[in-house]
Amino acid sequence: MLFDLQGKRRRVIQVVYALLAALFLIGFVGFGVGTESGVGGIFDAFSGGDGASSTNPQYEEDIEQAEQQLAQDPKDERAMIQLAETHYLAAQDQLETDEETGQPIVTDEARLELDESVTAWEDYLKVAKKPDADTAALVVQAYVLLNDAEGAAETQRIVAEDRPSQNAYGTLALYLYLGGDIQGGDEAAKQAVAEAEGSQKGMVKRQLDQLAEQAVKQKKQLEKQAKNAPQGENPLQQPLGGGGLGAPTAPAPTTP
């Protein structure tokens, strides 16, 4: 696994954009990942908030209500879902935007909200027999912003299995590849191709094959860097930073 599990959810937002840029470098967006038809679209994660406003009072009220419900019933699934979703939405208000690149910046305040979102989601998964796919599609974006490829993949798998499509499995393959799980990425890629229709199958396969090739090269490069790194340094903590699979540029994000 390329992500340092001892430092899970590394806060190096530049890595996120290096990862996402790979999507566009190979034309992956051509078959719909991140579009309206692609459940859990990557760029749905970013709302372009200015980070200066305080949290919406309605969010605070909803969070307080959910916490009160959990105090009465620690296994209240609806309350956990409400916390996961509301903390994520609150984080959107705390994002800033880089004036030069137009890319969102995860502030400390946004990071705290995102942490609370995924914590509530992980608590929910411990008690839910059938996790809610709608909430999963939202929370997966929190994992992306927290730079947690493993969490993003695990959550995207729930979406893909509930709503199988070339987009859902293609996105899953992306997260698995970016997390260094080449075999898992290959399996998800096969599912994406199987879900594609007609002439799209060939295009989807070519794009995913290119992504897999880049992921394998990057993994080998990072493993070599880790082996030769001076004591105390670990390049795997920023697996695709400084170039990754592509330059850290991306089109303007959309609001969820």
Alpha-helix residue ranges (DSSP H) falling in 32-107: 57-72, 77-94
Given a contact cutoff of 8 angstroms between Cβ atoms, the answer to whether 171 and 143 are in contact is no
Higher pLDDT, 15 or 244: 15
For the stretch 81-124, pLDDT in tens is 999 999 999 999 999 988 887 777 899 999 999 999 999 999 99
For the stretch 154-163, pLDDT in tens is 999 999 999 9
Q: What is the pLDDT of residue 252?
A: 32
Find, among 17, 59, 79, the residue nearest to 248 by Cα: 17
For the stretch 223-241, pLDDT in tens is 887 777 676 554 444 443 3
Q: What is the pLDDT of residue 80?
A: 98
For the stretch 205-215, pLDDT in tens is 998 998 899 88
Residues of the chain with pLDDT > 90, as a percent, come to 48
Q: What is the pLDDT of residue 40?
A: 35
Given a contact cutoff of 8 angstroms between Cβ atoms, the answer to whether 20 and 150 are in contact is no
What token pair was written down for 193?
Answer: 């191709």
**What residue spans define the domains of the chain?**
5-243
CATH topology of domain 5-243: 1.25.40
For the stretch 130-154, pLDDT in tens is 999 999 999 999 998 898 989 999 9
> Once rounded to an integer, what is the mean pLDDT over residues 32-56?
47
Q: What is the pLDDT of residue 214?
A: 87
